[in-house]
Structure 1
Amino acid sequence: MQIKTITCHDVNNYGASLQAYALQCFLQRNGYEVEIIDYLPIYKSDRLNFFEYNRTSGKLFTILKYVPFLKPLVGLYDHLKVPGHITDYKFIGRKKPFNLFKRNHLKCSNLTYRTLEDLQKNLPLADVYIAGSDQIWNSVGFNGRDSSYYCAFAPKNTKCISYAASFGASYIPQDQSEFVSKQLSRFYAISTRERSGVEIVEKLGYNATEVLDPVFLLDKDDWERLCSDEHKKEKYILVYDLDMNHPGVKQLCLGLAKKNNWKIYSINDFRECPYADYNINNAGPIEFIEWIRDAQYVVCTSFHGTAFSIFFHKQFYTFPLYHGKNHARMVDFLHKMNLDNHFVKEQIELSNLKAIDFEIVDKLLAYYRQNSKQWLLTKLKDLADSHE
């Protein structure tokens, strides 16, 4: 049976790349022919591609049809006029390892699609379509307002399921309820990454099951095999604060560093960490795993930073994005792992830190992992049987 998945897979984001790989790998191991639809909508165009021109309409678009050699300059202007993008040049080194990861580890469609119309005109044929994980249904942003991520391109006689799709937040905007409800109606089976996602789906009148993020369809050894055998020798705290502005993250990192005589290393996405001893601006998905693997301690505002800390049995604390509201996925996951006290909203004193008993966590993870695998494989077997 041929499966095609659609997800956020090529956006220079660690979790997005790794979850896409994990779902692909798990399905392949279970005998399915799998391909990721290379869907890269304009609004997700690579922010590190300084010379890409993304407009598809307007007077300037029309003019540039006749003078296409000016497109790179206009693209650069469009890029630099966005607040904060002027500092993106610091992170240009991330492009190469992300591109290599896609090329070497993701099996993507030959065609790249930018719009729903592109998908409909050159339909990527499959027996089953899977709307994958990550925040593909986050309707606070663009993803959840894009019907492509709800498999709107799929022919009516082709079944669609979702695996660990995420709404990103614990709610959807009121003005999007009708749209989301209509999109969900085409799914044969729905699973979400968070309990809050199940509740959203049920409020819209559908059934849903909570499953683990795709990275947990693989195990530690699978991820270890991607990594280099060389380990970092210096002892460090790894901080992964997406916005670099959470005072609780800073307080904990500085306190741990002083107490243990550890360095602070920061792995960065959009800005550098002002209090880090070393800023890592050029890491790709594999390097992201390696930096977590070799850390003494991890402090993050990231779901996948949390996930890989658990894989490699790293003591960690997870914070929400400062003033952010999209932390349901971290809260729900840590609750399942009996690690509620390792999610801190504001600050935590060193005297209140609790060591994680990973023997307990591993047992809980094994239970939820088995349930997640069984849900996905059962739904696919049901669909395969219906084709016979």
Structure 2
Amino acid sequence: MHTGLITFHFAHHYGAQLQAYATMRAIQELGHDCQVIDFRLPHTTQSSALFKKPDSVRALASNAHTALHYGAMKRRYDRFEAFVAEQMDLSSKRYTSDEELRREPPAYDVYVAGSDQIWNPYIYADKQFEPAFLLDFVREGRKIAYAPSLGVSSLPQPYDGQLRDHLASFSALSARESRGKELLESITGKEVRLVLDPTLLLTGEQWGELAAAPARKQPYILCYFISDPGEVGQRAQELHQRTGWPIVQLAGIRRALPGAETVVFDAGPREFLGLFQNAACVCTNSFHGSVFSLQFDRPFFTAMSPKEKAEPAYSRIYSLLSRLGCADRIVGMPDTAAAEAEMDYDAIHRKLAEARAESAEYLRGAIEGD
């Protein structure tokens, strides 16, 4: 099958680019051609620019920080651009609006609406669904979804009706979160499969092929935080005191972590992978930070947001780690493992292989029309 994938593939965000690559490669591993439809919304492109439009205090602060660390930030920018250009099979035409897609749609047998929060209307500039990610431009061919997220726990009117109309023509639906599955089933009346995030469709060995090894060869504690680290930051300090290993901070937030020996600002996707692959242990509050710790068999601790703690059943990190039997790596829960506790990666990978096979089978059947 000639397959076209539409998702967030160009944003300078580790999870976005790696999930897009993973979905594309997983489809290719099933024996089908797959191109990433090169759809880039202008306001999203601006958010990934080296310097932001100076229209807010936050943007001005970001630009000042970029100027201060210009060399590293420019390397990071170039590495994200290179990853898309070198690793993704892109459509021959680039599109910057749904109107362009509808006027001259790319031709495929199957169209895949991919992962990430592509179905969250609140993240777009006009607070409306982006029709392109709901495949409204498709004239002929089967429409399927692999692990899209609504990013919300409820979807009020008129969004529910709009989504129902858009998804009526889809042949197969899936979601990456249990709450998303429930919402989509209630809105559409269709069966929705719960599947793994695309980054888990590939193995650690496959990701290792892309990893760029860091210059540091000695053991280190990798810290990757996308928000205030809280309790998991304290766990990093505890591990540092116990082992003597230095803390290397991969900049997810621009604020340096107290006690960090090194802050890495210039990592692109390949460097991101290499830092996880070679870490002695990891502390993170990022979902994909947890995913790549698992992929590379790294001892790790992670955290949930206060909202996720209140409703862990709706948390994708809790859902994943519970499924794999290692939810005790979540800091701040009653059963959090001790800092020195080891992880049974043989058992984890047995469960992960089973879940991966189930998700890959859904994807195969959706593409082939089984």
| TM-score, structure 1 normalization | 0.84
Report Cα offsets for 1:93-140 as digits up to 9, x if no partner.
311111111111011122221211111112111111000112212234
Residue 134 of structure 1, aligned match among 110, 116, 126: 116
Q: Which amino acid aligns with 2:361?
A: Q
Q: In structure 1, the residue corresponding to 2:121 is in which secondary structure?
A: coil
1:175-214 map, 5 Å? 175-204=158-187, 205-214=189-198
Determine helix, strand or coil for the equivalent of 1:239: strand
1:59 corresponds to: none
CA distance in 2, matches of 1:340, 1:351: 13
1:381 aligns with: 368
Residue 270 of structure 1, CA deviation:
4.2
User: How has the CA–CA distance of structure 1 residues 220 and 174 changed in structure 2, closer, same or farther, with 3 Å as cutoff?
Assistant: same
1:250 pairs with 2:206: no
SS in 2 for 1:226: coil
**2:326 counterpart (339, 342, 354):** 339
Q: Which residue of 2 aligns with 1:313?
A: 297
Change beyond 3 A, Cα 1:50–1:211 = closer
User: What's the secondary structure of 2:94's corresponding residue?
Assistant: strand
Identity of aligned residues (%): 28
Return closer, same or farther for 1:350/1:207 CA change in 2, 3 Å cut-off. Answer: closer
Distance 2:204 2:339 in 1: 29
TM-score normalized by the length of structure 2: 0.88
Change (3 A) 1:144 1:253: farther
Counterpart CA distance in 1 for 2:88 and 2:56 is 27
Cα gap change, 1:267 to 1:371, in 2 (>3 Å): same
Question: Which one-letter code corresponds to 2:84 in the other structure?
Answer: K
Q: 1:136–1:144: 8 Å Cα contact kept in structure 2?
A: no
> Contact 1:242 / 1:302 at 8 angstroms: preserved in 2?
yes
Q: Secondary structure at the match of 1:362?
A: helix
Quick one: structure 1 residues 349 and 373, their matched pair in 2 at CA, closer, same or farther if it must change by over 3 Å? closer
In 2, Cα distance between equivalents of 1:222 and 1:144: 37
Equivalent residue for 1:165? 148
Q: Aligned residue for 1:293? A: 277
Instruction: Report the more deviating stretch, 27-36 or 365-374.
Output: 27-36
Q: Secondary structure at the match of 2:318?
A: helix
Q: Of the candidates 141, 147, 155, which is equivalent to residue 131 of structure 2?
A: 147
User: What does the per-residue CA deviation read over 1:317-359, in whole Å, with 9 as the maximum and x for residues that have no partner?
Assistant: 1112466799722121112112222223579988466432111
Q: Report matched runs for 1:1-388 at 5 Å.
A: 1-50=1-50, 76-78=53-55, 82=59, 84-86=61-63, 87-89=65-67, 90=69, 91-142=73-124, 145-155=129-139, 157-173=140-156, 175-204=158-187, 205-228=189-212, 232-243=216-227, 245-275=228-258, 276-321=260-305, 328-345=315-332, 351=338, 354-382=341-369
Between 213-222 and 228-237, report the one with greater CA deviation: 228-237
CA RMSD of aligned residues (A): 2.6
**How many residue pairs were aligned?**
358
Structure 1 residues 241 and 323: alpha-carbon distance in aligned structure 2, compared to 1, 3 A threshold? farther
Q: Partner letter of residue 23 of structure 2?
A: L
Largest Rg, 1 or 2: 1
Code of the aligned partner of 2:62: H
SS at match of 2:209: helix
**CA–CA distance in structure 2, aligned partners of residues 273 and 109 of structure 1:** 39
- Unmatched tracts of structure 2, length 5 or more: none
Residues 195-226 of structure 1 show CA distances to partners (whole Å, capped at 9, x for unaligned) of 22211111212210011111222212211111
Q: Tell me how far apart the structure 2 counterparts of residues 233 and 322 of structure 1 sit (CA, whole Å).
A: 36
C-alpha separation in 1, matches of 2:341 and 2:118: 34
Do the aligned partners of residues 351 and 287 (structure 1) sit closer, same or farther apart at CA in structure 2, a change above 3 Å counting? same
Name the aligned partner's letter for residue 302 of structure 1: S
TM-aligned CA distance change 1:175 to 1:263, over 3 Å: farther
